[in-house]
Structure 1
Amino acid sequence: MANSQVSVCYLIRTAEDDTREVLLGVKKRGIGVGKLVGPGGKLEVGETPAQAIVREIAEETGLRVNPQDLREAGKIDYSFPSHPQWDQKSTVFVLHSWVGTPVNSDELELDWYPLDQIDYSAMWDDAQYWLPKVLRGGSVSAAFTFAEDLSTVATIDVR
């Protein structure tokens, strides 16, 4: 399971008061329980990152996505030297268009968060180093190594 391929997506909308918001969820199970994350997960055999994120968004939020609406925003390598089975390569997507209303799943407790009020301390430690740029329309190419506590970033390489 080392070096799993995963996809994650940040769905962004403009609220009625013109506030820009992102759909995030508190993880209910698996790696990162209790952390605030974007919808996503592992690629299944034969899936591309885009196919995987369309499936994961449907499973975790109930939303339907047109793959052509996805914007690939970068790639991130995660290394956990003290727990290498957690190592993964992530493709990051951003999305502004979908069909449906988000519903909680057995994976995520969802809510909309204003882009300027995200509590990065509730997320994986690496998010603070790259997610603000992605949410503003930028992209990321990065590698993070986590410390023995499996929570704190030990080394950062953001390009």
Structure 2
Amino acid sequence: MTSFQVCVCFITRRDERGTRQVLLGRKKTGLGLGNIVGLGGKIEPGETSLDAIVREIEEESSLVVDPAAASEVGFIRYSFPSRESWSQDSTVFVVDTFSGTPQESDEIVPDWYDVTDLPLDGMWDDAKYWLPQVLAGETVHASFTFGEDLKTVSELSFETAPMRVSGRPDS
């Protein structure tokens, strides 16, 4: 069985105190029900991962993101040998510019979390291995295999690297 293609995005902002925060959401349906996750989902036929993440962000939170504001920061392969239908390949994005106010959707209850105090105990087990690094400006390329309990990482291989800032044309 081949993995399905998904995308996930971590939207960041500075709050009124100047503290950097990330928008996460508690899953209300489907895979990961009850977990705190980044916004995202399946890439539809004919979509690029960038098209999909912009669509998913709006569907899940009502926020609008300009595709040019999304930075691709990694790729993660998830294997679930005990439930192959859950296996997936995920493109990871970070966004720091958006418009709107996050709204609850049928899938997600969004909330802002301080980057220095992530709710890792409420997230998928793999997040502790890479999410703090991504939010610190690194890229990630990883593979995680989940055990029979479908919750705990049993094998992992990953590398992080400083994020390369691509030159943006002056407007």
Q: Note whether the superposition's TM-score is higher than 0.5.
A: yes
TM-score, length-normalised on structure 1? 0.98
Secondary structure (helix, strand or coil) at the match of 2:138 reads coil
1:106 maps to amino acid: D
Deviation of 1:121 after TM superposition, in Å, equals 1.0
How large is the RMSD of aligned CA atoms in angstroms? Answer: 0.8
Secondary structure (helix, strand or coil) at the match of 1:149 reads coil
TM-score, length-normalised on structure 2? 0.91
Distance across 2 between alignment mates of 1:152 and 1:25: 20
Q: Higher relative contact order by CA 8 Å / sep ≥ 6: 1 or 2?
A: 1
CA deviations 1:81-114 (Å, max 9, x no partner) are: 0100001000000000011111010100111000
Provide structure 2 residue ranges, at least 5 long, that are not aligned to the other structure: 160-171
Distance across 1 between alignment mates of 2:119 and 2:40: 19
Tell me what 1:51 maps to: 51
1:73–1:138 contact (8 Å) kept in structure 2: yes
Deviation of 1:119 after TM superposition, in Å, equals 1.8
Secondary structure (helix, strand or coil) at the match of 2:99 reads coil
1:13-24 counterparts in 2 under 5 A?
Answer: 13-24=13-24
1:37 maps to amino acid: V
2:125 maps to amino acid: D
Tell me what 2:165 maps to: none
Provide structure 1 residue ranges, at least 5 long, that are not aligned to the other structure: none
Identity of aligned residues (%): 53
1:74–1:140 contact (8 Å) kept in structure 2: yes
1:68 maps to amino acid: A
The alignment status of 1:157 with 2:157, answered yes or no, reads: yes
Aligned residues between the structures: 159
Deviation of 1:118 after TM superposition, in Å, equals 1.0
CA deviations 1:115-136 (Å, max 9, x no partner) are: 1111201000000000000011
Deviation of 1:2 after TM superposition, in Å, equals 4.1
Tell me what 2:126 maps to: 126
Tell me what 1:113 maps to: 113
